[in-house]
Amino acid sequence: MYKNLKNKVATPVIRRLPVYYRKLSDCVEQGRDRISSQELSELCGFSASQIRQDLNHFGGFGQQGYGYNTALLRDEIAQILGIHNRYKAVVVGAGRLGTAIFEYEGIRKSGFDIVALFDNDPKKIGMKVEHVTIEPADELLHYIDHHQVDVAIITVPKTAAEEIIRRLDAHGIRGIWNFAPVDVNVTHSIVENTRINDSILKLSYYLQHGR
């Protein structure tokens, strides 16, 4: 088990954890059961030194002269990332993106079970996506007050997002995964913003200026 985090871990480290997890999962899948920091460096594109530094924030998972056991290290990182926790999530906005997220099995594999979908379009309400019925957006708050919901996934347009996020925060939601291009000052919720549009602007920048 990884050691307790007395000191806050720097965000660059946390951003690299999912990469380690992904690459180690690939290794395990391919039947590779051992890896050195140098070999992992070649897979991830981070330096071997950095990898050893990163991992030692959480504990000594390797063995001198041997390296790391891939399955063991993957599982440790899974624990650190909290992949084995289960969270109940709702999707707010049942458009293309919302339903794409809903159907994406990676979400469930990462510990999130989507239990409800909300939309304000009368044409969509009552429709089923897989086994889940789309419910009216104005029942969202009532729903989270009466069911255990840990996380809301926001895929509504920018204009609606801010108020929804503020209200979810006020109603005590633990986590918000926000795809809308708004920043909301929440009081206690943990917000993770995913800005798809920022990504394409980065691509645009590099197309113009080169890497």
Going by the annotation, the residues of the binding site for NAD(+) are: 93-98
Structure tokens at 31: 């039947």
| Residue at 30: amino acid letter | Q
Min dist. Cβ of residue 210 to its own copies (A): 8
Strands 34-35 and 68-69: antiparallel
Residue 169 binding target from its own copies, DNA, none, CB below 5 to 8 Å by type: none
Taking the least distance from each CB to its own copies, the nearer of 51 and 107 is 107
Q: Where does this chain bind DNA (CB under 7 A)?
A: 10-13, 36-38, 46-50, 52-53, 55-56, 60-68
Min dist. Cβ of residue 143 to its own copies (A): 20
Q: Does 1 bind its own copies (CB under 8 A)?
A: no
CA distance 41 to 27: 13
What spatial distance separates the first Cα and last Cα of the chain, rounded to whole Å? 40
Residues in 70-109 that interact with its own copies by CB under 8 A:
80-83, 85, 87, 95-97, 99-101, 103-104, 106-107
Min dist. Cβ of residue 77 to DNA (A): 13
The crossing angle, in degrees rounded to 10, of helices 37-44 and 11-29 is 100
| Residue at 19: amino acid letter | V
Residues in 138-177 that interact with its own copies by CB under 8 A:
150-151, 174-175, 177
Min dist. Cβ of residue 78 to its own copies (A): 9
Residues in 2-41 that interact with its own copies by CB under 8 A:
5, 9, 14-15, 17-19, 21-22
Query: What are the residues binding its own copies (CB under 8 A)?
Result: 5, 9, 14-15, 17-19, 21-22, 43, 45, 80-83, 85, 87, 95-97, 99-101, 103-104, 106-107, 110-112, 150-151, 174-175, 177, 181, 183, 190, 192, 194-211
